[in-house]
Structure 1
Amino acid sequence: MEQMSASHAFATLGHPGRLAVFRLLMRFAPQGVRPTEIAAALALKQNTLSHHLADLTSVGLVAARRQGRSLFYAVDLDATEALIGYLALDVGRGRPDLLSRLLISRKDAAMRDTDFDVLFICSGNSARSIFAEALLRDLGKGRFQAFSAGTRPGSELNPFALDVLRRNGHDITGLRSKHVSEFQQPGVPVMDFVFTVCDTSAAEECPPWPGQPITGHWGLPDPVKATGTDAEKALVFARTYAALRRRIMAFVELPFESLTRLSLQSHVDAIATDQDAKA
């Protein structure tokens, strides 16, 4: 990246509002987000957000794409890589005392182990993330330790979700709704993977996870918001379970032993869109 381009990009990110928008879009990367959802998550006025998005787009850090009638904004990962590389390698001269903590992690060695700790995060931890925890536990062939948590305190397991799990042969003993803070305490497992399974949890601020886990966003609509008869609600929960089952089946079949962290991240990013296309 040229110095002038880097200077413009850093200046753009120097505004707190634009930086907040960029950080939110990074939590959804490589997927895009509608402006209305960005504005709601960050409590921004639409005209203010429009200015921020225009500035980020003008320096190439964000790109817009139209899908049907909706406009989605997403981080340009190539441009972001170039900017980070400029800061680390050009400005920082690649000094190992500056980069070692970023590049060295106990997880680099753990990627080839046969035991991975995986956390699924949702807003309530009452249905989607509970589905994911039970599915990975039972489909993971003993290679994964699955956990789930919610960002909203005081949630309880949804009875429709529990019924779906029972009907699909999962043991629900021990399943409970947990707040994400349980996994941010000293002495808890250091995660290899952290997935958000709803847009609300992805949009919320969360401290960086220890151990540099691979992260992914597998957002699905909230089945708890389904309306209609009990049979109609149960069908929505069943469809959500089936969508997560497809994702997790694809995840557990990845050839972890032969993949680098970069390759794993690419596969994790692709799973949601690939499995939705096959549905």
Structure 2
Amino acid sequence: MEKEVISQLSALAHERRLAVFRLLMRRYPDAIAAGEIAQILELPASSLSTCLAHLRQARLVTQNRDGTSLQYTADAGSASQLVGYLSSDCCRGRPEQCLSFSAPMEANMSQRKHNVLFLCSGNSARSIFAETLLRAEAGDRFDVYSAGTRPQSELNPYAVDLLASKGFDTSSLKAKNVNEFRGEDAPGMDFVFTVCDSAANEECPPWPGQPMNGHWGQPDPVKAEGTDAEKRLAFQQVYGALRNRVRAFAALPFETLDRASLQNSIDDIAKTKD
């Protein structure tokens, strides 16, 4: 085990390799093509190839072929073992110094409402869908928010019309900047979900309090082309996919799961086929 840990720490002790691994973890469980990784991180193909080879050798990244494209995914299980090994080793006799990933959720968490934030780039459609759906599904157990890394000035009219057609009150919905939720007076988040790849791709400061994260990336329906009916269908498909994930999330037995099990459940929801 120690040899593997040394190999993994060595692989991550490099600025570019660490950037690649962090991107793949933010997008987990998505598989990302090498070309997309290079474009996001602005890396030359040769440099990226070397980085991925080191990360694969250290069992931090897996590779699969999709047609002619090589796809890469973070090996979350291996990364979890690394963190667990370091936590166990460094915390001997001082458990209060480290976060226990096998410990139950905070004792008072089942007695209070969880704070959930949905993020996308524009906060005009996908994150608004997720916010509205979770609030309607389990608003008695969750305080739900949404925000954008580059929010639009107005919500997308197709998104608003769809929610209204489903019977939701849209009068209080608005686009918000993610910075509104990073201040000292902002509510502490228990869960942060990205629902678009662009938001997950961005390198952001870590959230205080170590909330659990999930990536439920959906295609941007705003970019749909064609007739009015075809555009509305694109919004309906994204709405349906997020509804399935929100319902699965709300149904999780939070009071019986430890942090690791809950994070695994969130990742499994992200793998749901639409």
TM-score clears 0.5: yes
% identity of equivalent residues: 51
Structure 1 distance, partners of 2:153, 2:49, is 35
Counterparts in 2 of 1:254 and 1:81: CA distance versus 1, 3 Å: closer
Q: CA deviation at 1:123?
A: 0.8
Aligned to 2:37: 38
TM-score by length of 2: 0.92
- The SS at the match of 1:156 is coil
- The SS at the match of 1:31 is coil
Structure 2 distance, partners of 1:95, 1:66, is 45
Q: CA deviation at 1:109?
A: 2.5
Contact 1:193 1:213 in 2 (8 A): yes
Instruction: State the superposition RMSD in angstroms.
Output: 2.1
Show CA shifts across 1:103-123 (max 9, x none): 499962344235111000001
Range moving further from structure 2, 192-201 or 72-81:
72-81
Range moving further from structure 2, 70-79 or 221-230:
70-79
TM-score by length of 1: 0.90
Unaligned runs of 5+ in 1: none
Aligned to 1:196: 194
Q: CA deviation at 1:93?
A: 5.4
Structure 2 distance, partners of 1:88, 1:253, is 30
Range moving further from structure 2, 120-129 or 47-56:
47-56
Structure 2 distance, partners of 1:70, 1:156, is 37
Contact 1:120 1:133 in 2 (8 A): yes
Q: Is residue 81 from structure 1 mapped to residue 101 from structure 2 by the alignment? A: no
Match of 1:177 among 171, 175, 186: 175
Contact 1:107 1:192 in 2 (8 A): no
Code of the residue aligned with 2:171 in structure 1: it is T
Range moving further from structure 2, 175-184 or 38-47:
38-47
- The SS at the match of 2:32 is coil
- The SS at the match of 1:73 is strand
Code of the residue aligned with 2:135 in structure 1: it is R
- Equivalent positions of 1:1-279 (< 5 A) are 1-2=1-2, 4-90=3-89, 92=90, 94=92, 96=94, 100=97, 102-103=99-100, 108-274=106-272, 276=273, 279=274
Unaligned runs of 5+ in 2: none
- The SS at the match of 1:211 is coil
Structure 1 distance, partners of 2:138, 2:68, is 39
Contact 1:113 1:257 in 2 (8 A): no
Structure 2 distance, partners of 1:270, 1:93, is 29
Q: CA deviation at 1:83?
A: 2.5
Structure 1 distance, partners of 2:141, 2:214, is 19
